[in-house]
Amino acid sequence: MSVESLRAELMDQSLDMPRRFRALFALRSVGGDASVSALLDSLRDPSALFKHEVAFALGQMQATGAVETLKAMLRDESEHSMVRHEAAEALGAIASDECLEALETASEDSSQVVRETAVLALQRFRYAQAKRRDAQAKNARADAKAPSSPPSARPDERAGSAKEQLSASTNGHQQSLDEPDSPYISVDPVPAAPSDVPTHALRATLLDESASLWDRYGAMFALRNRGDPCDVAKALGSVLIHSDSALLKHEVCYVLGQIQEKGDGARAALRATLENQNEHPMVRHEAAEAIGSIAADDTEALLLKFRHDQDRIVAESCEVALDIMQSEISGEFVPLVVEPPRAAA
């Protein structure tokens, strides 16, 4: 399937959401200007779920050409907070100078999830700048013959759910500059805590409601990368039940979907989250997709129960999650075959 055909599927609002999401994942995977342009055009869509996923993809692609559109989305208070959150997170992932002012403004937004996202994105921005400065200084000192870049990532050894495999870049791994050791495909919003922090300290920070979101995120990603999956899932399940931050909880769900631990510890918490009508739809959405990625015995019944939820975001998330579950079960991650771009004449 060509990028043009994928674009047509992406834009076609008469198609079901899973089909359009597969086109979206495939465009993210192919990358390049034509894919970014298709994703930007698709943002004139009534579905908040769809728009937030497009913004997420643009951030994960670190598409500098999307910055102005993402800034406008972030500023637009008529957009759903989940969409504005994802725009802010994408700007944090891109982390170019043009992103700074919009994130500073958003760091005082009246929406808690937007505000907290912007604060984290600004911290990531400063962290990325410091890393770049360090790298430049190191390169300037290095002998011309010495290798000047860190060891490259090993895409063939990356872990990831079917959803992540479907959207993994075909142009090499788009790894965060912060985490060369992460076995996962995602560009994380916060770097994992350093490798010399012991696991018990990471766990304590993750569970500490008084710790900053930056530290808790860093602890969570470090545990995801190197902890025992069963223990990590249990700790994450506990955060899901006890935390007041919708932002933290939605990321906890996302990480549970990456880990795909089938033990009871996290699955009970994910179920309770999806069932909780008072929970932020952004959290229920990520819980639904994590449940789909885990693909346990009770997954289908649970997702079918909420596929007509009164919140459109949750209902559409369950549709997409049922499709993710099917990909997990079948092990078929590439249903949309993409033709290589034609060489320029």
Please enumerate in sequence order all residues whose Cβ is within 8 A of that of 14, keeping only pairs 6 or more positions apart, or say none. Answer: none
Tokens representing residue 118 in the block:
């912007």
Surface-to-core class of residue 230, CB atoms within 10 Å of its CB (0-12 exposed, 13-18 middle, 19+ buried): middle
Question: In which residue are the tokens 């170019």 written?
Answer: 96
The span from the CA of 228 to the CA of 232, in Å, is 6
The span from the CA of 202 to the CA of 188, in Å, is 17
Cβ–Cβ < 8 Å for 256, 270: yes
Cβ–Cβ < 8 Å for 184, 45: no
85 is in an annotated binding site: yes
79 is in an annotated binding site: no
- CA 178 to each of CA 70, 128, 139, 259: distance values in angstroms, whole numbers, following the listed order: 22, 7, 17, 20
261 is in an annotated binding site: no
280 is in an annotated binding site: no
List strand residue ranges (DSSP E) for the chain, in order. none
157 is in an annotated binding site: no
Radius of gyration of the chain measured on its C-alpha atoms: 19
The span from the CA of 232 to the CA of 168, in Å, is 24
Query: What is the widest separation between alpha-carbon atoms in the chain?
Result: 62
200 is in an annotated binding site: no
316 is in an annotated binding site: no
The span from the CA of 86 to the CA of 51, in Å, is 9
Is the four-CA dihedral 74, 35, 254, 91 of positive or negative sign? negative
**Binding-site residues from annotation for Fe cation:** 52-53, 85-86, 250-251, 285-286
**Binding-site residues from annotation:** 52-53, 85-86, 250-251, 285-286
